[in-house]
Amino acid sequence: KDVNELGAKHNIYNQNMKLRFWQSAEMMRSFSSALANREFIVYYQPKVTLSSGDVVGVEALVRWQKKDGKIIPPNDFIPQFEQTGAIIKLDFYVYEEVLKQIRNWVELGLDIVPVSINLSRCHAENKNLYDEIMGLTKKYNIAPKYIEFEITESAFTHNAQYLIEVLTKFREYGFNISMDDFGAGYSFLNALYEIPVNILKLDKGFLKPSEVSAKQREIIKQVVVLAKNIDLNIVCEGVETKEQAEFLLGIGCDMAQGYFYAKPMPLEDLKHYLNNQKVKQQLSKS
């Protein structure tokens, strides 16, 4: 009986493996056709200075818009894309979409909003990272000061030396590099001097509990002080309330991103959002 049970379990295990294999094969097929059909769309979330609320940049955040119009959030497909390596292609696709957009702003003579692009930890194994990014940047002839690459600490758990070399070249060229989700789980303090970043993005988890404890406040405060003392800009993500914004302003945090200011939005909405901001500024001046 026991043997039979074991055999049955083994079968289920095998079936699960097969299922997973087919699911990921299926996933890759649908990825390729989605890419060809331009089903991946870029949303933009404003990043503001805490003191004035002025927009200082936007973060590009990908969505998958299926043929039926349904929009799939990145957390529902990026983990699979990271397993199969498809994420590398997707990141370059998103970067190219962003470059086209900036070129468009340049051509229309509009103000240029700096854009942040997320780079997956998979790029630690991508030997083409430097060439591909430089090739695209030159193709669209965009100044590096308008571009920021966001990368999480978890990217540095292997091949760290390789990634550090590439990012160092990016910094030298003039791109901004930020450490995304800082403090979320893999934090190691030597990251702050070994990895060539010039911006820290404090993970939204820090602000999560509605009653942020005195201890948490102190930690956020000291991270902000530390960042400033070593000349890093600091952005706090996940700001949802006025109280959080006031607290962050009070401890000297420079910039913030979060639903309190704006959610990620499609390009059309971003245009309106930026126009309204301008009107607000003019009204407050007059």
- Nearer of residues 132 and 150 to ligand C2E, judged by Cβ: 150
What CA–CA distances, in Å, run from 230 to 115, 192, 197, 198, 226? 24, 9, 11, 9, 6
Supply the minimum distance, in Å, between the C-beta of residue 182 and ligand C2E: 10
Out of Mg ion, ligand C2E, none, what residue 262 binds, judged by CB under 5 to 8 A for its kind, is none
Supply the minimum distance, in Å, between the C-beta of residue 149 and ligand C2E: 10
Spatial separation of the C-alpha atoms in residues 150 and 93, rounded to whole Å: 16
Among 222, 224, 172, 220, which Cα is nearest to 196's? 172
Q: What is the binding site for ligand C2E (CB under 6 A)? A: 45, 61-62, 73-75, 78, 87, 91, 94, 118, 120, 150, 180-181, 204, 237-240, 257-259, 264
The binder of Mg ion chosen from 48, 50, 92, 118 (CB under 5 A) = 118
- Nearer of residues 106 and 204 to Mg ion, judged by Cβ: 204
- Nearer of residues 106 and 191 to Mg ion, judged by Cβ: 191
- Nearer of residues 237 and 254 to ligand C2E, judged by Cβ: 237
Stretch that binds Mg ion, among 5-13, 36-44, 114-122, 187-195 (CB under 5 A): 114-122
- Nearer of residues 57 and 74 to ligand C2E, judged by Cβ: 74
Which residues in 180-219 contact Mg ion (CB under 5 A)? 180-181
Supply the minimum distance, in Å, between the C-beta of residue 192 and ligand C2E: 19
Supply the minimum distance, in Å, between the C-beta of residue 160 and Mg ion: 18
Supply the minimum distance, in Å, between the C-beta of residue 230 and ligand C2E: 22
- Nearer of residues 76 and 172 to ligand C2E, judged by Cβ: 76
Nearest residue relative to ligand C2E (C-beta)? 258
Contact partners, residue 107, CB within 8 Å, separation at least 6: none
Residue numbers of the site for Mg ion (CB under 5 A)?
118, 150, 180-181
